[in-house]
Amino acid sequence: MFSIGNTIGAGIFAMTGVAAQYAGPSLFLSFLFAGGIAMTTAMMLAELSSRIRTNGSAFSYTYATMGELPAWVVGWNLNLRYGLCSAGLARGMTSYFVGLFAKFGAPLPTWMYSMSFFGAEKCSILSIIFLLVLHLIYIRGTEESKIFNMVFTVLKLLTLLFIIVVALAKFDSDNFSPFVLDEHDGWAGSFYATTLIFYGYTGFDIVTTLTQEAQKPSKNVPLAIKASSLICMCLYALTAFALYGMAPLQNFNAETAMADAFASVGLEKISFVVYFCAFFGITAACFTNLISQPRILQ
């Protein structure tokens, strides 16, 4: 659940519309191509995690195989990654939280999510509050963290499955003809979209920072890495297939293509579900990044 919670975040909502501009109807294949590439990394991590059963992810693996200096560089890079990702995801949580209130006709005051502070523009008080709340949940303990992550991940998966089912109900096979876009050199556009989509698969390695909390880590951690990668790949591809079958995504604004697609077929209320799903997804991803960072510093 930690791997799935961290992988399925903002990527599926932000990158679907962007990649559709290049891949067109072959978008779901681009997700499968990117997933196949990500699986090679997952297999490597699964092998290393089965042999080196300790927290620390790539830091521990580098230390065991290459020594202290390379491990020091990798460790601080991971620390920077988890810290910056948490900050960025907290801003994403704020964006969708503010968007939800705006959808309900009760917009939040601007100072809560965008204000100037000591020369910095667009400081977000809400983002700081979200991070503090997530930290308070984390310091309660591993069991509480596991329950919180599981609840938000399950909510995210249920709403994503609901989006898929509704989109399939409006499916039109004519949207898949022609299968590739000539204006982006056909299949070249599909492969370019694959490079954009790959970002959406980063995150399944998060479980390697929690190895010592796992039961039978030599068996369960590699299994979690491979299973989460496969589940995310299938969900991504199915979401792209269903959404494009409902409406050609390249005809909409790249950043809001998912919500715009539902509005184009008379299902504007489903955009609420999209916002909820995105908020749940980003919250779970932010929380798992916060959990992982201290493991690198131990």
Count CA atoms closer than 13 A to 230's CA, side-chain side: 7
Under a CB-based contact definition with an 8 Å cutoff, are residues 233 and 28 in contact? no
pLDDT at site 119: 63
- Listed in sequence order, the residues at least 6 apart from 49 whose beta carbon sits closer than 8 Å to its beta carbon are 207, 208, 211, 217, 218, 221, 222, 225
Residue bearing the bigger pLDDT, 163 or 199: 163
Residue 280 has pLDDT above 70, yes or no: yes
Q: Which two tokens stand for residue 153?
A: 């991940």
Find the mean pLDDT for residues 4-29: 77
By mean pLDDT, which of 2-16, 34-48, 124-138 is the weakest? 2-16
Residue 207 has pLDDT above 80, yes or no: no
Under a CB-based contact definition with an 8 Å cutoff, are residues 246 and 167 in contact? yes
pLDDT at site 50: 79
- Would you state the torsion angle of the CA atoms of residues 79, 255, 129, 143, taken in this order, to the nearest 10 degrees? -60
Residue bearing the bigger pLDDT, 233 or 88: 233
DSSP letters of 150-169? HHHHHHHHHHHHHHHHHHHH
Architecture per CATH, 2-297: Up-down Bundle (1.20)
* pLDDT > 70 in the chain, percent: 90
- Name the band, by pLDDT with cuts 50, 70 and 90, for residue 126: confident
**How far apart, in whole angstroms, are the C-alpha atoms of residue 277 and residue 235?**
14
pLDDT at site 104: 79
Q: Report the mean per-residue pLDDT for the chain.
A: 80
pLDDT at site 210: 73
**How far apart, in whole angstroms, are the C-alpha atoms of residue 155 and residue 204?**
19
> Does the global pTM surpass 0.85?
no
- Name the band, by pLDDT with cuts 50, 70 and 90, for residue 183: low
pLDDT at site 184: 62
pLDDT digits (tens, 9 = 90+) for 51-108: 877 777 788 888 888 888 998 898 888 888 888 878 878 887 887 788 788 877 888 8
CA R_g for the chain:
20
Partnered with residue 123 across adjacent β-strands are: 115
pLDDT at site 120: 63
In the chain the first and final C-alpha atoms are separated, in Å, by 23
Count CA atoms closer than 13 A to 166's CA, side-chain side: 20
